[in-house]
A and B are shown apart, each in its own frame.
Chain A
């Protein structure tokens, strides 16, 4: 199974990662190698085998719905890359639209 540079570009767009042309080429090569390696799983007969999503067997874990002490506004705001009037500032989401 080999991955083309176009496919790498498409995945990178889905994953929101910018890649240089050199990186696109390197990832196409190395990921193709990884996909070839993991294809060995096709040797294993898994007909009717339940998939494992977790190993503890725990189900429906709940805790009391009570408030607890946690981070305060000032500490959280201090971690934000851009703040204005105590609000997180981000670029506009919609383009060319009148709201």
Chain B
């Protein structure tokens, strides 16, 4: 097995046993990137030089016996997350030359362990999309079939992990941006509870929805990375003070007697591919055979989650992206006056979907429409939360497909925003409720594309959703 194909746990064992060095491990990932990324387009910036410096420092820590769980482990970071001294564009040309002077808290925590940041991964610009086609640096190809999308918005991160260009990635999930590409690329992706991980240093999209989470090859690795990044941060006032449990320890427990809910609205959705449905139903039988109790439940408001999302998120977006104006940082376009400077910088620096979201949000928040759109959506959001609260008094976790279908063709949905928005129909509800959801590979289609299962649980139930996801095996 090649070094870049190892999981975090395997690499840790090999590094600690001095079977190979961090420099060799990092070089194996960099070699894979230079060989393969012309076809995949997972990376916008590869940090070869700084990665090798960090790898040499990691080797010194290991030689001195001072290693931590992520020392010497190469990882990638979604380009919408700030990394000190390494260009961070969010896949939008308005930030083409932007090099943040600081690290996001979660990235700092990982680097403090002696991990190695090998580059910045492609995504839909500012996280706006479900296919990575809204990137101004080109789409990302799915490693399982280069004609298919990798999913979005964190498509580059998912493809980089799936194609063994790094051992894990850190990404961001506002409306499914970690789970959906994880599903399309056949890896593990966790959207944590809102408030579990710090969002400081994440380029904000919709502040009441944004979360940061890992993308890994296994659930075991997910537990390792979550242990490092979870917890309160005094630079993000929305992080919760609740203590962080021992995730790896909890994974050892079984699921006997655990009540797993199957929300019928997800399985009755008219866009669901029968192959996807069958794969998840097979996994449900497997979980039952391992002692879980399977319970049929209903979440009647499921079908409204996308509408709630596409009012509230563009509204928050239109406000958050006001800072992208070409004045203090990023790319400034010329103009005869200040208005022109703003309008030209934003015209040239944003792709069409970012403009659309800002326009929708500006409209929804404008005088006369606020109550009809924004307030109404906030009220339905309350009802979606209550739906989940009620169902979690009956069951411990829920299982659903992550996406109604496997990866679609590049170009298939890009001209129809509604079709693209509906690709997130199963991942969006958890975002309104702020609950955790994990996607794990649950099968393959006949044509060889991964199918993802999603496990959702009540707020701060990361242990439970990981424990159930860990029992899903091909």
Decide: B350 and A17 in contact? CB cutoff 8 A.
Answer: yes
Q: Give, as a whole number of angstroms, the nearest-CB distance from B354 to chain A.
A: 9
- The B219-254 residues at the A interface (CB cut-off 8 A) are 234, 237-238, 240
- Contact partner, A17, options B304, B343, B375, Cβ 8 Å: B343
- Contact partner, A44, options B102, B234, B304, Cβ 8 Å: B304
Q: Contacts A19-B355, A34-B310, A38-B310; is A53 near B363 (CB within 8 Å)?
A: no
Q: Contacts A16-B342, A38-B310, A41-B307; is A79 near B347 (CB within 8 Å)?
A: no
B392 contacts chain A at the CB level, 8 A cutoff? no
Q: Contacts A34-B417, A70-B102; is A15 near B330 (CB within 8 Å)?
A: no
A79, B323: Cα distance in complex, Å: 14
Decide: B359 and A55 in contact? CB cutoff 8 A.
Answer: no
Decide: B433 and A50 in contact? CB cutoff 8 A.
Answer: no
Decide: B379 and A15 in contact? CB cutoff 8 A.
Answer: no
B382 contacts chain A at the CB level, 8 A cutoff? yes
A85 contacts chain B at the CB level, 8 A cutoff? no
Q: Contacts A15-B362, A91-B337; is A37 near B101 (CB within 8 Å)?
A: no
Decide: A49 and B208 in contact? CB cutoff 8 A.
Answer: no
- Provide 5 A-B residue pairs closer than 8 Å at the C-beta atoms, listed in order of the A residue: A15-B358, A17-B358, A51-B381, A58-B238, A95-B337
A81, B350: Cα distance in complex, Å: 17
Q: Contacts A15-B318, A55-B385, A58-B238; is A81 near B330 (CB within 8 Å)?
A: yes
A31, B459: Cα distance in complex, Å: 33
Decide: B338 and A3 in contact? CB cutoff 8 A.
Answer: no
Q: Which residues of B contact A2 (CB under 8 A)?
A: none
Decide: B379 and A51 in contact? CB cutoff 8 A.
Answer: yes
Decide: A11 and B350 in contact? CB cutoff 8 A.
Answer: no
Q: In terms of DSSP, what is the predominant structure of the interface of chain A?
A: loop
B335 contacts chain A at the CB level, 8 A cutoff? yes
Decide: A51 and B363 in contact? CB cutoff 8 A.
Answer: no
Q: Which residues of A contact B326 (CB under 8 A)?
A: 81
Q: Give, as a whole number of angstroms, the nearest-CB distance from A68 to chain B.
A: 9
Chain A residue at minimum C-beta to C-beta distance from B311: A38
- The A10-64 residues at the B interface (CB cut-off 8 A) are 11-12, 14-19, 23, 26-27, 30-31, 33-34, 37-38, 40-42, 44, 46, 49-56, 58, 61, 63-64
B173 contacts chain A at the CB level, 8 A cutoff? no
A71 contacts chain B at the CB level, 8 A cutoff? yes
A88 contacts chain B at the CB level, 8 A cutoff? yes
A93 contacts chain B at the CB level, 8 A cutoff? yes
Decide: A8 and B359 in contact? CB cutoff 8 A.
Answer: yes
B408 contacts chain A at the CB level, 8 A cutoff? no
B434 contacts chain A at the CB level, 8 A cutoff? yes
Decide: B355 and A81 in contact? CB cutoff 8 A.
Answer: no
Chain B residue at minimum C-beta to C-beta distance from A26: B352
Q: Which residues of A contact B356 (CB under 8 A)?
A: 27, 30-31
A18, B318: Cα distance in complex, Å: 15
Q: Which residues of B contact A72 (CB under 8 A)?
A: 101
A49, B375: Cα distance in complex, Å: 10
Q: Which residues of A contact B338 (CB under 8 A)?
A: 90-93
Q: Which residues of B contact A54 (CB under 8 A)?
A: 208, 238
B301 contacts chain A at the CB level, 8 A cutoff? yes
Q: Which residues of B contact A81 (CB under 8 A)?
A: 326-332
B346 contacts chain A at the CB level, 8 A cutoff? yes
